[in-house]
Amino acid sequence: MSSRARLADIAVKAGVSEATVSRVLNGKPGVAEDTKQAVLTALDVLGFERPTRLRRRSAGLIGLVMPELINPIFPAFAQVIESALSQRGFTPVLCTQSPSGATEDEYVEMLLERGVSGIIFVSGLHADTGADHARYQSLVDRKLPVVFVNGWLPGVEAPFVSSDEAAAMELAVSHLVALGHRRIGFASGPERFIVVQRKLAGYRTAMKAQLGLNDAEVDSMVELSMFGVEGGAAAAQRLLDVGVSAVVCGSDMMALGVIRAARQRGLAVPDNISVVGYDDAPMMEFTDPPMTTVRQPVNAMALAAVQSLLEEVRGHTTPHTEFLFRPELVVRSTTGPHREV
């Protein structure tokens, strides 16, 4: 593309003249700051490289610690958080864990050595009730801004951003009850995780309120396994044995495992069994069949986490409490009316 064409494109995008674009790019005086920023934004949006003297200087490093990237919901969070940080002049440093890789504590130590301005934890050890949470209090004590996504530690003075897990299960159960299902199973990961405890509590409450079941009847349809496709398949084996006609899952990946286990038994989804996932991770609308799921409001949650952290970085006080975001039921094709066998 010629430089003339590039100037014209930038001018149209920024809503200014080509002469103004030229003055900004060449560092000439006499351009209002707002106009200059409009031109630079247009430059970024169109994918043109800024002149060296006009490139953003990093306002600081921000650590982003996540458990892994296999579950597509975590890359979804990472993309929004990293983009929001970059747009605000900060440089995100992504740290993801793997079975043979660095631990969360090792990543935190590395981030501290690099002088990060703050850290965002997504579904970290703060969500594991079996973990030692003193590690987080030590970060707060040293005045390092931290924000936690999906998990709640009442004793730690920091902002927490979570999806309302109990409300999510109420949405899922209500949907299945409306379709005529009464034997609705629940499959999720280990109970030591706060998100699982909250989902399980929401499921139990909804099943008792909407179907009049007692604790024993509800508990007979609960199967806690490991997160992931394999865990979902393992949980499904017992749930199918006890005769459920639908399964609410703790994640979309577990839901895929439930569908796989059902098909191995010759069952069709949703004709013989309905399945509801959780997260609405990218690609769930393209599964076979497309997944009915409860969507985490990833964009809103990620932006709230970034905003809270940067307020702390700038020395402003933010509410040290938990911000709960309401999820949304997304009905696709893995759920259908209950049919008597």
Percent of the chain with pLDDT over 90: 77
Q: Read off the pLDDT band of 1 (50, 70, 90).
A: very low
**Residue 341: per-residue pLDDT:** 61
Q: Read off the pLDDT band of 40 (50, 70, 90).
A: confident
Domains and CATH numbers, the chain: 3-54 (1.10.260.40), 61-163+297-326 (3.40.50.2300), 165-296 (3.40.50.2300)
Identify residue 333 by its one-letter amino acid code: S
- Write the CB contacts of 224 (distance below 8 Å, at least 6 apart in sequence): 187, 188, 189, 190, 191, 196, 200, 235
**Residue 3: per-residue pLDDT:** 61
User: How confident is the model over 222-270, as pLDDT tens digits?
Assistant: 999 999 999 999 999 999 999 999 999 999 999 999 999 999 999 999 9
What are the DSSP calls for 118-147, one per residue? EEEEES-GGGBTTS-THHHHHHHHTT--EE
**Residue 148: per-residue pLDDT:** 98
Calculate the average pLDDT of the chain. 92
Identify residue 290 by its one-letter amino acid code: P
Global pTM reads 0.83
User: Which of 77, 66, 79 has the alpha carbon at shortest distance from 108?
Assistant: 66
User: How confident is the model over 78-117, as pLDDT tens digits?
Assistant: 999 999 999 899 999 999 987 777 899 999 999 999 999 9
Q: What is the CA radius of gyration of the chain?
A: 24
Number of other CB atoms surrounding residue 251 within 10 Å: 27
According to the per-residue pLDDT averaged within each range, which of 23-32, 74-83, 332-341 is highest? Answer: 74-83
Nearest-angstrom CA–CA distance, 23 and 11: 12
Nearest-angstrom CA–CA distance, 29 and 112: 40
The torsion angles phi and psi of 146, rounded to 5 degrees, stand at -135, 150
Average pLDDT over residues 283-307: 97
Hey, what's the torsion of the CAs at 254, 259, 263, 267, to 10 degrees?
130
